[in-house]
């Protein structure tokens, strides 16, 4: 099993270009696995972790409801945003500047073959990360992601998650609202869940956070939970 992960920070990159890149990396891993199975080989598969910030974009998961986007095509253009219906799980969400998006593209056969556990581990990475800033995150039953004040009238989501997997290889991932403009969430019903708010680290702390510092904390907790041998620059 290969527990090394190739790490790349794409900085600010177009959503569609990043989606295509993720798909290429996933297919590369899947092709190795198919070749191994057909030829009774055990060639090692790679793992990747991408960090990225996207320009304003709304994405709708494969089971999502288009009516959860509250903007017309012209209104999207006015706001400088784009829209994509994509192949991850979950409903609609927003990505934009000041948000830390992480795309682990892992062969889970290098770690563990359990999608439920994978999602819970991703949530735990974020819960542990924001705890270092004094923010108490938790899970909301039946609603993937990380929330604050679950079970109260003030429940609000700080990190959305949605993934796709093929032959135990993952893509897509999490979007942590760090210093993001929360006004853009007003144009959707986030994750298709009515009556619940969205928040950010900046809103909770009343100050901006250092994005690079938060990323390093995410990697620290990811490495510990997933028992990663090492992160190596891609």
- Residues labelled catalytic: 191
CB atoms within 10 A of CB 98: 17
Q: Which two tokens stand for residue 50?
A: 């991408």
Tell me which residue of 126, 122, 99, 132 sits closest to 208, measured CA to CA: 99
Sheet of strand 92-95, all strands in order from the earlier edge strand to the far edge: 82-85, 57-60, 92-95
Supply φ then ψ for residue 200, to 5 degrees.
-140, 165
- CA-nearest of 49, 9, 50, 7 to 233 is 7
Task: Please give the distance of CA 157 from its chain centroid, rounded to a whole number.
Answer: 13
């Amino acid at each position: 099993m290969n527990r090394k992960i190739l790490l790349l920070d794409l900085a600010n990159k177009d959503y569609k270009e990043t989606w295509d890149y993720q798909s290429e990396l996933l297919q590369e891993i899947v092709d190795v696995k198919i070749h191994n199975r057909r030829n009774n080989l055990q060639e090692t598969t790679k793992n990747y972790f991408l960090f990225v910030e996207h320009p304003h974009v709304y994405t709708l998961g494969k089971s999502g409801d288009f009516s959860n986007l509250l903007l017309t095509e012209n209104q999207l253009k006015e706001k400088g945003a784009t829209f994509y219906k994509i192949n991850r799980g979950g409903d609609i969400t927003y990505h934009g500047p000041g948000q830390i998006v992480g795309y682990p593209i892992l062969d889970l056969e290098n770690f563990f073959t359990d999608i439920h556990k994978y999602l819970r581990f991703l949530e735990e990475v974020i819960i542990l990360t924001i705890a270092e800033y004094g923010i108490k995150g938790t899970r909301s039953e039946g609603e993937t992601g990380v929330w604050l004040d679950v079970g109260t009238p003030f429940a609000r989501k700080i990190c959305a998650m949605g993934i796709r997997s093929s032959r135990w290889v993952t893509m897509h991932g999490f979007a942590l609202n760090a210093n993001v403009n929360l006004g853009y969430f007003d144009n959707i019903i986030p994750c298709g869940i009515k009556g619940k708010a969205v928040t950010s680290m900046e809103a909770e702390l009343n100050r901006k956070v250092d994005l690079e510092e938060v990323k390093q904390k995410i990697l620290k907790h990811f490495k510990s939970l997933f028992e990663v041998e090492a992160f190596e620059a891609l």
